[in-house]
Structure 1
Amino acid sequence: MTARALIIGAPRSGSGKTSVTIGLLRAFARRGVKVRGIKTGPDYIDPGFHQAATHLPGLNLDSWAMAPDLLRHLARGQAEDAELLLIESAMGLFDGIVSEENRSGAASDLARLFRLPVLLVLDVSGQSQTAGAIAYGFAHYDPTVEIAGCVLNRAGSERHRKLCGDAIEAAGLPVVGTILRDPTLILPERHLGLVQASEHPEMDAHIERLADAMEASLDLDAIFALAKPFDIPPGSAEKSLPPPGQRIALASDAAFTFLYPHLAREWRSAGAEIIPFSPLADEAPPADCDVCWLPGGYPELHAGRLAAAMNFKAGLSRFAETKPVHGECGGYMVLGETLEDAEGATHEMTGLLSHRTSFARRKMNLGYRQAELLENGPLGRKGETVRGHEFHYASTVSPGADEPFARIADGAGKEIGPSGGRRGFVSGTFFHAIARG
C-alpha cells in the first residue's frame, strides 16, 4: 500500500493547525481511512493528540535535528499500512533557523525533501480580501514548495467567508472549506503550550467535536485528492539514538511524559525492551533492568508526591549504585537535591545529583541544542555529538558540584557552555535528545 501525504501549514502559530489536523485525523478515521499523524519540529506534545485522534502512535520529524536519511527512515515507518499521512507544521510553514540547506527545522524542508503539497490554514479573523494577498504570497514565495489549497479558519459569517474565499480563488488557489469562529474548538493551554492529550478529562469528546466541525465545514474528498502518493527512497537508522540498554526502565506517569515517539519505536526496533514504572505510585525501577530513563514532564506539578515517594527514591538510589540512570529536563530536575514549585514551596528530590531547581523563579529556555558528550553514557560515547532541543521555564538556582554532562551550542553552533551534570552512573540535562549529529 502506498500512502498519500499532505502537509498542513500556516503563516504562524495560533492559526488553528493543531485543531484542524486533529479534527481531520479523526474525521478520516471515521470514514475507515487508515490515517496517521506526523508533527514537524521538536514539539513532543502534538504527537500525543495525533495518537488520541487515530489510536495509532504519532511521530516527530525534525529537519534540523534529524539527517535526511533518518527522516526518510522514520517517515517510511510511519507510512507502513497507512493510506493517508497528515503532517502538521510547527509555527509558520517557513519558520526555522539559519542553517545548511533543508536543515532549518521548518516544515517547508520536508515539503521539498518529500515533494509534498501543503494545505494552508489561514486564520481570517480581522481581515477579508487581504487573505488573498497572503495566500498569493505563500504560493509564490518558494517555487519548490507547492501550496495546493487553503482552509479558512475563524470566519465570522457567510459574507466574511465569501469575501476571503473569492480573493484567494482569484489568486489561483482552491479553498476546500471554511470553519466558522467557535471558541469551544480551542484546545486548552499550559505553561509549555498545550495541555497533553492524556491530561484532558474529555479529550475524546473534544476530538469528536473537532471531527464534526471538519466534516461539516471542509471538503474531505477534495483534501484527500490534494494529498500526493508518498513514494520516497528508503532511509537509514544510522543517526538514530541507540538504545541506552537492553532492558530500559522508563518512568511513565503524569509527572514523566515527554519521550519522543521515535525514540521508543527505534529502541524497540533495535531489540530493546521498555519497562514502564510510576514514581508517582511510589514504584522503583525494576532491578532486572540495566538502565533507568527519567524523561521530561511536569514534576513541578507533583513535587510533593515525588518528595514523599520514599520507595521510589530509595530504589532509584540502589539502582544507581551499579547501573546508569539518566534524566532529561523534568527528569533532570528530579535527580537534583531540591525542586521549588510555583508557590515557592521547596521539596526534597532524589539528591543523586547536587543541583537545585526552581519553578517559582521562572526563566524561559528555548532552542535547538548541539551537545558534545563529555563522557561515555546513555546517549553515546565521549566526544560524540547529539542534536536535541531545550524548552523549559524552570531555573537552576544552584548548579551543584557535579561534573558537566555535555558541552552545548545552539542550533547555529554558537557555544553556550557546559550543561547538566554527572556523578557515578547518574547523568542528566535540561535538553531533550532527538538524534545523533
Structure 2
Amino acid sequence: MRGLIISAPASGSGKTTVMLGLARALSGAGVAVQAFKSGPDYIDPAFHRAATGRASWNLDTWAMGRDRIASLIHGGDGAIALAEGSMGLFDGVATAGLSGTGATADLAALTGWPVVVVLDASGQAQTTAAVARGLATFRDGVTVAGVILNRVASPRHEALIRAGMAEAGLAVFGCLPRNAATELPERHLGLVQAEETGDLDARLDALADLARAYLDLAALQGAARPCSLPPATVPPVPPPAERIALARDAAFSFIYPHLIAGWRAMGATILPFSPLADEAPDPTATACWLPGGYPELHAARLADCATFRDGLAAFAATRPVHGECGGYMAMGAGLVAADGTRHRMAGLLGLETSFAKRRMHLGYRVAELDAPHLPPRARGHEFHYATILSQPDAPLAQVWDATGAGVPETGSRRGQATGTFFHLIGEDA
C-alpha cells in the first residue's frame, strides 16, 4: 500500500482538517483510503473512519514494535494510506521505546512514507519556506515530499510564499485560504468526539470541497510511496475474557480501535452497553471494560443511573471489571466536577477524584499489572486533568513513565474491580 504522512511543525497548524478533507475528497472520488494515526490518540481515528468509511488504526513507535506496526499497515485494504501525525514532525519523548520515540518522523523513517507538511502561513511569508526546508533537511531517512499552505491571506501572500518554496526546492501541493468554517469544535482533551458532532458529514463534505478546490489531489497521490516495512504477523493483545461487556457512549469511548479489532480476531464477543442510558453490563458477559472518556461532563447524570450502578456492583461480585482513566474514575466512590459539586459514582473502588483542582497528567506509561484479566506487562498512555483526592485501595500496578521514572498513579484494585489512569495500547515486549 502506497502512503503519505500528513504532518506539521506544531500542533494547531491544521493537519487534522487537511487530513480529513483530503481523505474525504479521495474517498468521494472512489479511491480506497486507509487512514492511520501516529501516536496515542483515541479521538482522531473516529473522524478518520467517518471520512473514509474504514477503521483507522494507531501506529505508535514508542508503544509498538516494528512487527506490530507492519501487521496493522499490511492488514489494511486501501489503495492509498494517509497517516496523520501528532504534534510537530520531530516531537517525541526523550527515550526511545519499542521502535522509536513516538515522533511522527520515526514512523516516516520506519515506513518510508513521504511527509506532506501542513504549514500555518499566517503572520509570515517567505520565512515559511525556511521552516519547511529545515524540516526537510533535519534528519536523514525522513523524506518531505512537499507542503500544503494553510490560512493563506491573499493571492499576494500566496505568491510570496510560493516564491520562497521554489527557492527552497520544495513542491507546493496547494494553498488553503483562511476559513473559520473549517475549524472543528474542541474541548479540554482535544476535538469534540465524532459521534457528538451532529453535523459531522456536512463538515467533512465542506473540507472535501476545499481540498478539491485548492489541493492538487493527483500530485498528492503521485507522491505516495510503498511501505518499506515487510509484512509481519503479530498476535493481538489478548482479550480480558471471551465475552466483554464494553461501556460505549459519550462518557466512555476512549479505547484504541486496534484493541477491539484484536479481541474480536481472537474470538471475543463485544457486548456494548450505555451507562448514560442507565444500562447495566450484559449478564452473559464474563468481564466488563469501562474505557476512558468524559465522565466529568456527565457526572450528575451518572450519579442518577441506579440501574447501571447496581448492575455494575452485582457484576463485579463474580466477574472482573476494569476501568481506564474516565472509566476508573466512574468506578470510584465520588467525582468532584469543575464547579466543586461532588457526585456519587459506582463505588466499586474508594477512589475520589476532582476536576475542581485541575492538573494535566500526560505521557507514555509502562506498567507491571497484577490481575489475571490484564497483560502482565503493558504499554499505554495517560492524558487527563483529574486530581486524585483519595486512592485508598491496594495498588494495581507498578507504573513508570517513558524515562523509567516511577509515577504515583498506580491504579487500584478491590476484589475483582481494577482500574488505571493510563489507556492500554499494547503488551510490553
Which category describes the TM-score, using the shorter chain as reference length?
over 0.9
Letter of the structure 1 residue corresponding to residue 145 of structure 2: A
Deviation, structure 1 residue 235 = 2.1
* Matched residue, 1:407: 398
| Candidates 118, 122, 126, aligned match of 2:123 | 126
Is residue 111 of structure 1 aligned with residue 79 of structure 2? no
Letter of the structure 1 residue corresponding to residue 124 of structure 2: Q
Letter of the structure 2 residue corresponding to residue 175 of structure 1: V
Aligned counterparts of 1:76 and 1:413: Cα–Cα separation in 2: 32
* Matched residue, 1:164: 161
Contact 1:406-1:419 within 8 A present in 2 as well? yes
Contact 2:409-2:420 within 8 A present in 1 as well? no
Letter of the structure 2 residue corresponding to residue 322 of structure 1: T
* Matched residue, 1:324: 320
Deviation, structure 1 residue 377 = 3.1
After TM superposition, the structure 1 stretch with the greater mean CA deviation from structure 2, 227-236 or 159-168, is 227-236
Contact 2:112-2:226 within 8 A present in 1 as well? no
Identity %: 52
Unmatched segments (≥5 aa) in structure 2: none
Is residue 33 of structure 1 aligned with residue 31 of structure 2? yes
Aligned counterparts of 2:396 and 2:371: Cα–Cα separation in 1: 10
Aligned counterparts of 2:141 and 2:353: Cα–Cα separation in 1: 46
* Matched residue, 2:15: 17
* Matched residue, 1:244: 240
Deviation, structure 1 residue 58 = 1.4
Aligned counterparts of 2:328 and 2:177: Cα–Cα separation in 1: 43
Aligned counterparts of 1:112 and 1:236: Cα–Cα separation in 2: 21
Aligned counterparts of 1:241 and 1:134: Cα–Cα separation in 2: 40
Aligned counterparts of 1:158 and 1:217: Cα–Cα separation in 2: 12
Determine helix, strand or coil for the equivalent of 2:327: helix
Is residue 97 of structure 1 aligned with residue 89 of structure 2? no
Deviation, structure 1 residue 97 = 0.8
Deviation, structure 1 residue 169 = 1.8
* Matched residue, 1:366: 362
Deviations 1:377-413 (A, max 9, x none): 3222xxx32110000011111122x110111111111
| Candidates 222, 226, 230, aligned match of 1:229 | 226
Aligned counterparts of 2:216 and 2:64: Cα–Cα separation in 1: 34
* Matched residue, 2:373: 378
Deviation, structure 1 residue 418 = 5.4
Determine helix, strand or coil for the equivalent of 2:34: strand
* Matched residue, 1:391: 383
Matching of residues 129-278 of structure 1 within 5 Å? 129-230=126-227, 232-238=229-235, 240-278=236-274
Letter of the structure 1 residue corresponding to residue 340 of structure 2: G
Deviations 1:315-368 (A, max 9, x none): 111111110000000000010001111222111111100111111211111111
After TM superposition, the structure 1 stretch with the greater mean CA deviation from structure 2, 96-105 or 146-155, is 96-105
Determine helix, strand or coil for the equivalent of 1:42: coil
Is residue 434 of structure 1 aligned with residue 422 of structure 2? no
Deviation, structure 1 residue 417 = 3.7
Aligned counterparts of 1:63 and 1:192: Cα–Cα separation in 2: 22
Is residue 70 of structure 1 aligned with residue 61 of structure 2? no
Alpha carbons of structure 1 residues 417 and 344: separation in structure 2 relative to 1, 3 Å? closer
Contact 2:110-2:228 within 8 A present in 1 as well? no
Letter of the structure 1 residue corresponding to residue 136 of structure 2: A
Contact 1:241-1:379 within 8 A present in 2 as well? no
Deviations 1:299-320 (A, max 9, x none): 1111112111111111111111
Letter of the structure 2 residue corresponding to residue 87 of structure 1: A
Aligned counterparts of 2:8 and 2:44: Cα–Cα separation in 1: 16
Is residue 313 of structure 1 aligned with residue 305 of structure 2? no
Deviation, structure 1 residue 252 = 0.6
Deviations 1:72-91 (A, max 9, x none): 111212x22x1111000000
Aligned CA RMSD, in angstroms, stands at 1.2
Contact 1:405-1:418 within 8 A present in 2 as well? no
Deviation, structure 1 residue 237 = 2.2
Contact 1:324-1:377 within 8 A present in 2 as well? no
Deviations 1:163-206 (A, max 9, x none): 11111121111101100111111111101111111111211111
Deviations 1:255-284 (A, max 9, x none): 111110110111111111111011111111
Give the TM-score normalised by structure 2.
0.97
Determine helix, strand or coil for the equivalent of 2:277: coil
Letter of the structure 2 residue corresponding to residue 412 of structure 1: T
Determine helix, strand or coil for the equivalent of 1:280: helix
Letter of the structure 2 residue corresponding to residue 132 of structure 1: A
Determine helix, strand or coil for the equivalent of 1:213: helix
Deviation, structure 1 residue 376 = 2.4
Is residue 46 of structure 1 aligned with residue 78 of structure 2? no
Contact 2:409-2:421 within 8 A present in 1 as well? no
Is residue 425 of structure 1 aligned with residue 416 of structure 2? yes
Contact 2:109-2:142 within 8 A present in 1 as well? yes
Unmatched segments (≥5 aa) in structure 1: none
| Candidates 58, 61, 70, aligned match of 2:59 | 61
Aligned counterparts of 2:290 and 2:27: Cα–Cα separation in 1: 33
Contact 1:254-1:297 within 8 A present in 2 as well? yes
Contact 2:299-2:335 within 8 A present in 1 as well? yes
Give the TM-score normalised by structure 1.
0.96
Deviation, structure 1 residue 231 = 5.6
After TM superposition, the structure 1 stretch with the greater mean CA deviation from structure 2, 228-237 or 55-64, is 228-237
Aligned counterparts of 1:30 and 1:363: Cα–Cα separation in 2: 42
Contact 2:112-2:228 within 8 A present in 1 as well? no
Aligned counterparts of 1:242 and 1:427: Cα–Cα separation in 2: 17
